[in-house]
Amino acid sequence: MGVTPNIAPSMLSADFANLSSEAHRILNSGADWLHMDVMDGHFVPNLTIGAPVIESLRKHTTAYLDCHMMVTNPLDYVEPLGKAGASGFTFHVETSKDNWQELIQMIKSHGMRPGVALNPGTPIGEVYPLVEAERPVEMVLVMTVEPGFGGQKFMPEMMDKVRILRKRYPLLDIEVDGGLGPSNIDMAASAGANCIVAGSSVFGASEPAEVISLLRSSVQKA
C-alpha cells in the first residue's frame, strides 16, 4: 500500500488543563499527528475547543494539528483556524452538500489540508464527488462511532466503507475515528485505513508509546 501510516491521538482524551505537556508527552511517545476535535454544541451536542485553544497549542508545538470540524457551518471556521495554525481541516459532508467546492478552495487558500468526514449513517457514495473533484479533498475520515463524545464502542460494520474507499482510491489518506485501540486496529488496518485516531486507548494507557507503536505496526503490516 503506497500510503503512510499516521497515528493521531485525540486530544479530546488529554488533560485539558495541561494541553501543552500532554501534547509533548504523546508526541514523544511516537504520535505523528495531534487530532483536535472541534465541536460547536450544535452539529453535535458536545462543546469542546475552537481556534483560541488551537492557537495557544500551536505556540508550543510544530506538530501537524489534524482538526476534525464537527460544526454546522464549517465555512465560518476556515479563516480563524487557518490563522490559529491548524494543519488539516476536515469538515463533515452532511453539513456541506451545497458549498463543498468553495469550502475546499478556502481551506487550501488558508494553507490547510482539506479532508471530509462522514457519519456512520451516511452512505459512502456521498464523498466520491469530493475525492474526484478538480480540487479534491486529500483525506476521507470514516467515523466508527456517532460523533460528539469520546469513549464510545467501535462499529466494525463501518469497515465496509473503508474497504470500498481503499479499492476505489489506492493512494487516498483514509482516517478512522472512534473506539480504536489494540483490540480492533487489525480490522481497521486490513480494511485499508492508514490514519488512525485513538483517544482513550492511547491517553488511558500506562505506556502510550507501546500502544502507538502497535497501532503503527498494524497499519504497516496491512
Q: Which residues are identified as catalytic?
A: 37, 177
Residue 140: count other Cβ atoms within 10 Å of its Cβ.
27
Task: Please answer whether residues 141 and 117 qualify as being in contact, where contact means their C-beta atoms are separated by less than 8 angstroms.
Answer: yes
**How distant, in Å, are the alpha carbons of 15, 177, 182, 185, 193 from that of 154?**
23, 9, 12, 10, 14
Task: Please answer whether residues 120 and 143 qualify as being in contact, where contact means their C-beta atoms are separated by less than 8 angstroms.
Answer: yes
CA-CA distance, 202 to 25, in Å (whole number)? 11
Place of cell 503506497: 2
End-to-end CA distance of the chain: 8
Going by C-alpha positions, the residue among 127, 85, 129, 76 that lies closest to residue 106 is 76
Run of H or E residues at 54: helix 51-58
